[in-house]
């Protein structure tokens, strides 16, 4: 069985005491995701949050996963729109995957399309950060487009294992075939790789803060832009669902370009958008095939088993997965891509 909140809280309290960190009390946060539990650390001054991994979306062991997530926060927070990292919680029996302590962000959920300009500014702050001399432990492929194509291709192996309709498999593979082999302008920068709107909070000072980072890497910024504004992202979170018009998507890209001062070509942005959509669809196939498997008791890496997450969250994810893999949803995004190719 998953570790209870009481056991997590006791382990967290012990480790905070050992580290000499003063706090007033701890409170559980709602279970809204597949990858982490969260505990709010109430302090006399600024509050913090403990992020306790349920699994590793990077398919890493507990210690390596913590190091990876820590690097994501350390690198990205330099842009000013990501919580700062305050410490690591070591792996223990009560915290089998350890945890991170980061700034608690008070704010409302992002609402679309109104908050897209704020999100565009936050993403530009991330994408403008200089590449460090040493990129490890974050992924930093020399050929980021080729790496993205290969990652989507590997994930696409789950299409035939997910009990999908033959027409769905055929449509997704047709879209895979439409990905260009190479891009003329594929310059790397730090990206989140997980920027769906539910991962942003809008603060009192009117900033969009990206609060959930664990898959960051040095790759193509068009992937983040796509992940923010694709239909499969904007309709994912139950509390901030929206179906963007073509003009709203274009306005979002234009706001990002204005904050950046320079931009990849339209062809590159469209290619990244198609690839990110296909990454999402093939992830859906993977989750559909894996979520009924038994929990990984040895905490080896990825673990999509339903045992780790509240049943209502699993039901929501199942609903979204079935919808995104439906012919109607695939046709909707396909038609959007055709339109954007002529207007972006």
- The string of DSSP codes covering 15-61 is HHHHTT---SEEEE-----SSEEEEEEE-SSS-EEEEEESS-TT---
pLDDT of residue 298: 55
pLDDT of residue 124: 98
pLDDT of residue 308: 56
The DSSP H or E segment spanning 342 is: helix 327-343
Torsion of CA 34, 95, 38, 214, to 10 degrees: -60
Neighbours of 117 (CB within 10 A): 17
CA distance 309 to 37: 9
CA nearest 35: which of 5, 56, 50? 56
Name the average pLDDT for the chain.
Answer: 90
pLDDT of residue 300: 60
CA distance 110 to 335: 26
Strands of the chain (E only): list them: 25-28, 36-42, 48-53, 85-89, 99-103, 108-109, 189-191, 200-202, 208-210, 217-219
pLDDT of residue 313: 80
Task: Reply yes or no on whether the pLDDT at 2 is more than 70.
Answer: no
- Contact partners, residue 28, CB within 8 Å, separation at least 6: 5, 9, 37, 38, 39, 40
Q: Give per-residue pLDDT as tens, 124-177.
A: 999 999 999 999 999 999 999 999 999 999 999 999 999 999 999 999 999 999
Percentage of the chain beyond pLDDT 90 is: 72
**Average pLDDT of 257-282?**
96
CA distance 299 to 293: 14
Percentage of the chain beyond pLDDT 70 is: 92
Distances, alpha carbon 74 to alpha carbons 41, 217, 258, in Å = 20, 12, 26
Q: Which residue reads 């469209």 in tokens?
A: 270
Alpha helices in 265-326 (DSSP H): 266-290, 311-324
pLDDT of residue 297: 47
Q: Which residue reads 């109104």 in tokens?
A: 114
Most confident of 209-213, 288-292, 293-297: 209-213
The DSSP H or E segment spanning 121 is: helix 116-127
pLDDT band for position 292 (50/70/90)? low
How is residue 271 written in tokens? 């290619």
Task: Reply yes or no on whether the pLDDT at 15 is more than 80.
Answer: yes
CA distance 48 to 65: 20
Contact 242, 113 (CB under 8 A): yes
pLDDT of residue 8: 77
Task: Reply yes or no on whether the pLDDT at 306 is more than 60.
Answer: no
Task: Reply yes or no on whether the pLDDT at 299 is more than 60.
Answer: no
How is residue 148 written in tokens? 């993205």
pLDDT of residue 304: 41
Helix (H, G, I), strand (E, B) or coil at 210: strand
pLDDT of residue 119: 98
pLDDT of residue 309: 58
Please state which of the ranges 14-23, 222-231, 301-310, 335-344 shows the lowest mean pLDDT: 301-310
Q: Give per-residue pLDDT as tens, 67-113.
A: 999 999 999 999 999 999 999 988 888 788 889 999 999 999 999 99
Q: Give per-residue pLDDT as tens, 224-255.
A: 999 999 999 999 987 778 999 999 999 999 99
């Amino acid at each position: 069985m998953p570790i209870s909140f009481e056991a997590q809280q006791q382990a967290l309290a012990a480790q905070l005491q050992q580290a000499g960190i003063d706090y007033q009390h701890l409170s559980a946060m709602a279970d809204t995701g597949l990858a982490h539990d969260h505990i709010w650390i109430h302090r006399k001054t600024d509050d913090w949050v403990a992020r306790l991994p349920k699994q590793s979306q990077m398919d890493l062991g507990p210690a390596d996963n913590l190091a990876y997530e820590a690097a994501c926060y350390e690198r990205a927070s330099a842009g000013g729109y990501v919580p700062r990292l305050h410490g690591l919680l070591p792996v223990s029996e009560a915290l089998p995957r350890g945890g991170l302590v980061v700034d608690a962000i008070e704010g409302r959920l992002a609402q679309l399309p109104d908050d897209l300009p704020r999100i565009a500014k936050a993403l530009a702050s991330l994408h403008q950060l200089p590449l460090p001399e040493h990129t490890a432990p974050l992924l930093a492929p020399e050929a980021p487009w080729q790496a993205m194509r290969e990652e989507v291709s590997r994930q696409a192996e789950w299409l035939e294992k997910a009990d999908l309709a033959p027409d769905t498999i055929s449509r997704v593979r047709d879209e895979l075939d439409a990905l260009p082999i190479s891009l003329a302008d594929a310059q790397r920068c730090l990206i989140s790789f997980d920027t769906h709107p539910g991962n942003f909070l809008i603060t009192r000072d009117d900033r969009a803060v990206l609060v959930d980072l664990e898959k960051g890497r040095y790759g193509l910024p068009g992937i983040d832009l796509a992940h923010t504004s694709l239909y499969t992202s904007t309709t994912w979170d139950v509390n901030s669902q929206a179906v963007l018009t073509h003009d709203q998507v274009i306005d979002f890209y234009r706001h990002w370009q204005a904050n950046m001062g320079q931009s990849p070509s339209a062809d590159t942005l469209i290619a990244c958008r198609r690839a990110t959509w296909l990454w999402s669809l093939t992830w859906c196939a993977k989750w559909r095939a894996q979520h009924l498997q038994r929990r990984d008791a040895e905490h080896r890496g990825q673990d999509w088993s339903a045992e780790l997450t509240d049943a209502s969250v699993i039901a929501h994810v199942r609903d979204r997965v079935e919808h995104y893999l439906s012919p109607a949803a695939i046709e909707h995004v396909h038609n959007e891509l055709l339109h954007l190719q002529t207007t972006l």
